[in-house]
Structure 1
Amino acid sequence: MSNNLEEYNDPISYDIENDAYMGELKMLEEWAVKQGGPVLDLACGTGRITIPLAQKGHNMIGIDIHAGMLELAKKKADQANIQIEWLEQDCTMLQLDKKSPLIYMVGNSFQHFHTNAQQNLVLKSIHNLLEQEGIFIFGTRFPNAEELLQPTTEEYWKTYTDTLSNKIVNAYTISNYDPLEQIQHYTTIRKFMDDNHVAEERKTNISLRYTYPKEMERLLIENGLDILHAYGNWEGSPLIKESNEMIYICRKI
């Protein structure tokens, strides 16, 4: 996983592009109230969800493999005067001196574990840290045909404002899916605009594993996790063939 982090090497720009999204927060807050803490946020990044949950009074631990993302997370928590324990660890080899009643992984981070062995390792690691009857919640992109068969040419993705440069950014992606490995290779091209001209262009690469629903069922059960719910989004809608996401709520067996 550590060689697939190019997308995260500029934490401030990453925050500008992604920090406003809070789609997972409501569901996770509901479960945090039910389960209590400490709550573990795996692959927490810059604390996008960790910090809001801590602000709601939950005992939070944020874990990530990327030192730069954690550094910004710590800075943001300090500025908000929020106490959070931050740990730099590989999620396949988690080591804590306590167990948790609730662990979650958002931002489709599960897709960073490319091989069957890596998927097993991360789930075993989570299982070991969960209290008996503990809950693990995570989301991943649904491997529907539209998602996997994206054009291999440059396609428009979205537009946002980069508040550091005060420039409009037009983002494009190039996708290439490997069906043998079930991995989508993405190149993201961000074009920083000056009036109608491209003032700067930045490219990043990332590779993401896609797991099918039946495959996921077997994977979770074999690693000691019973599926309580499988949703098609973070609002709790049913998982259907038109879904773009798969959200799993699992209980430690």
Structure 2
Amino acid sequence: MEVGFIYHSFAYIYDRLMYDIDYSKWADYIENIFKVYNCKPSLLLDLGCGTGNFCIEMAKRGYDMIGVDISVDMLNCAKQKSEEHGLNILYLNQDMTDFELYGTVDAIVCLMDSINYVLYKKDIKRMLKLVKNYLNPGGLFIFDVNTPYKFEEVFGNNVFYDISDEITYIWQNYYNRRTKICEFELTFFVRDNEGYKKYDEVHYERCYDNNEIKGLIESSKLKLLNVYDELKLCPPPKKSQRNFYVCEANK
């Protein structure tokens, strides 16, 4: 199932479900990585930008932002919010594994486990080659992935739910250790003027271990600078649920 399709209805309730994500904290973290590697970018590309929250946060801090996403609905939400903030952000409706820009950029990010949504290595390889092609020399590519520990011990075959007056969801996971594919069956009940509206979504993520990720980076000719624990500047422990990778284009 195409990602663009599964995000059709989900796009309009995405922000209400992601209320606990501190985008300011994520932006602080990315800026800290820039400082560590003496990177002073002006133009940034956000692959899999969703409803634009990270783009908006970085644009407020003075960066020129480009957001790429396969979902038209996500981008409609992003554009509307950006205009409400008076921000001029370029949004492109493209597949992040096969994107095309008009020129190069200073840094690229791909956040919120967007890479796990890419189910085939060949597509990640193509994306990484494009990242290298569109990065200025010395530019950074920063991305995160959900770890094998998270897929096996947290997602697993577990059920999650949350009940509130505005929105209630039930989230059933099915993780296949052989294929490394996790299926998320999501059911939402969202309050509107007429009562509650029901949404059903099925999403898929693939688990990639550290050696697989490193191999993909190596094949792209990007230089792996470091691997960090979630929103930290230290090596990830065995039970880390999210790893960040920092790569550099050849100077």
Q: TM-score, normalised by structure 1?
A: 0.86
> Residue 93 of structure 1 aligns with which residue?
98
- Return 37-46 or 222-231, whichever deviates more: 222-231
Shift of 1:202: 3.1
Q: Percent of aligned positions with the same letter in both sequences? A: 23
CA contact (8 A) 2:115 2:145 kept: yes
State whether structure 2 residue 30 is matched by structure 1 residue 28: yes
Task: Write the distance in 2 (CA, Å) between the matches of 1:83 and 1:199.
Answer: 35
Whole-angstrom distance in 2 between the partners of 1:174 and 1:240: 27
Instruction: Return the letter of the residue paired with 1:138.
Output: F
Partner residue in 2 for 1:16: 16
Calculate the TM-score normalised by the size of structure 2.
0.87
CA distance in structure 2 between the aligned counterparts of 1:199 and 1:19, rounded to whole angstroms? 19
Correspondence for 1:244: 241
Higher helix share goes to which structure?
2
Secondary structure at 2:137's aligned position in 1?
strand
Moved over 6 A (4+): none
Residue aligning to 1:183: 181
* C-alpha RMSD of the superposition: 2.3
| 2:221 paired residue number | 224
Cα-to-partner distance string for 1:29-75 (whole Å, 9 max, x where unaligned): 33567331210011111111000110111111111111111111111
Tell me the amino acid that sits aligned with residue 133 of structure 1. Answer: G
One-letter code aligned to 2:28:
K
1:141-199 C-alpha deviation (Å, 9 max, x unpaired): 01113035333xxx23434x5xxxxx343322211122332110110223458xxxx95
Partner of 1:56: 61
- Paired residues, what number? 241
Displacement of 1:84 in angstroms is: 1.0
Q: Report how far residue 7 of structure 1 moved.
A: 4.0
Q: CA deviation at 1:118?
A: 1.0
| Structure 1 segments unaligned to the other structure (5+ residues) | 162-166
Residue matched to 2:131: 126
Aligned counterparts of 2:199 and 2:8: Cα–Cα separation in 1: 13
Q: Give unpaired runs (5+ residues) of structure 2.
A: none
SS at match of 2:53: coil
CA deviations over 1:90-128 (Å, ceiling 9, x no partner): 112221121112000111110121111111111111111
Residue in 1 aligned with 2:199? 202
CA contact (8 A) 1:2 1:65 kept: no
In 2, Cα distance between the equivalents of 1:114 and 1:209?
A: 5
